[in-house]
Amino acid sequence: MLKEIDARGRSCPEPVIMTMNAIDSGDKKLKIIVDTNVAVENISRFANSRGYKVDVDETNEDFEINLSK
């Protein structure tokens, strides 16, 4: 089941913490929506360190980070 996290408007490290909480609760598929390149980079780095595959799509002014394990 895909879990969606909307972290737009939040500054780091909050989007990473939201992602970490979802991963720690056992979610294997996540879509995180953010609005800054810094959040994309930080979440991608964190997810890779936890063994997740990371795909990033840019949509309008936002980024969708899709994580799967």
Where do the domains of the chain lie, and which CATH numbers do they carry?
2-68 (3.30.110.40)
Mean pLDDT by 10 residues, the chain (69 residues): 95 96 96 97 98 96 97
Q: Helix (H, G, I), strand (E, B), or coil: what is residue 64?
A: strand
Q: What is the DSSP letter of 44?
A: H
| pTM for the structure as a whole | 0.94
Q: How much is the pLDDT for 1?
A: 83
Q: How much is the pLDDT for 67?
A: 98
Which helix (H) or strand (E) element contains residue 24? helix 14-24
CA distance 5 to 31: 6
Q: How much is the pLDDT for 7?
A: 98
